[in-house]
Amino acid sequence: MIHVPTNILLVDDEKDFVEMLSMRLEDAGDKVTPAYDGHMCLETLAKIPIDVVILDIKMPGMDGIQALKEIKLRYPLVEVILLTGHGTTETAIAGMKLGAFDYLLKPADFEELQTILEKAKLRKAEQDERIRKAEARQLLRRGGNI
Ligand SMILES: [Mg+2]
């Protein structure tokens, strides 16, 4: 199977964790942009096309849930995977009701992350494709060919 590189935005206030996980994801063939808080996350989304955001819930200042709400409002097609500690799974599930694709317990298991990431990429790609086709149909109708 051909691996299509995905643009991932990795958001976590633990810089060592971001560096380590970025390296592993890049080794696995993806393009990773780091961010260390909610504001930096939104600033990056405004500048770079991103497919999937991996988003820590517990961050100082704007937390992951606040950031998630903003992401879904401004970029509804971007998929979000939440990172959560053992004590906050309820928050993570609340996040899924706000539009997050799924969540992962910290410390994140890389294999599990890869599995969720593949599913999130697939949903993003399918949705992008449906929109492209709908836009093409609309263009054809405007042209009077249908
Ligand atoms: Mg944190």
pLDDT in tens, the chain (146 residues): 556 678 999 999 999 999 999 999 999 999 999 999 999 999 999 999 999 999 999 999 999 999 999 999 999 999 999 999 877 889 999 999 999 999 999 988 999 999 999 999 999 999 999 999 999 999 998 876 55
Per the CB < 8 A criterion, the answer to whether 10 and 32 are in contact is yes
Task: State the distance from the centre of ligand 1 to the C-alpha of 121, rounded, in angstroms.
Answer: 24
Report CA(132)–ligand 1 centroid distance (Å): 37
- SS3 assignment, position 9: strand
Distance 145 CA to ligand 1 centre (A): 54
For residue 123, what are the contacts with CB-CB under 8 A and spacing of at least 6?
Answer: 79, 101
Supply the CATH classification number for the domain 7-142: 3.40.50.2300
Whole-number Å distance, alpha carbon 20 to ligand 1 midpoint, is 15
Span from the CA of 40 to the centroid of ligand 1 (angstroms): 14
The tokens for 146 are 């249908």
The token duo for 69 is: 């709400």
Angle among Cα 80, 81, 84 to the nearest 5 degrees reads: 130
Q: Which residue type does 22 have?
A: S
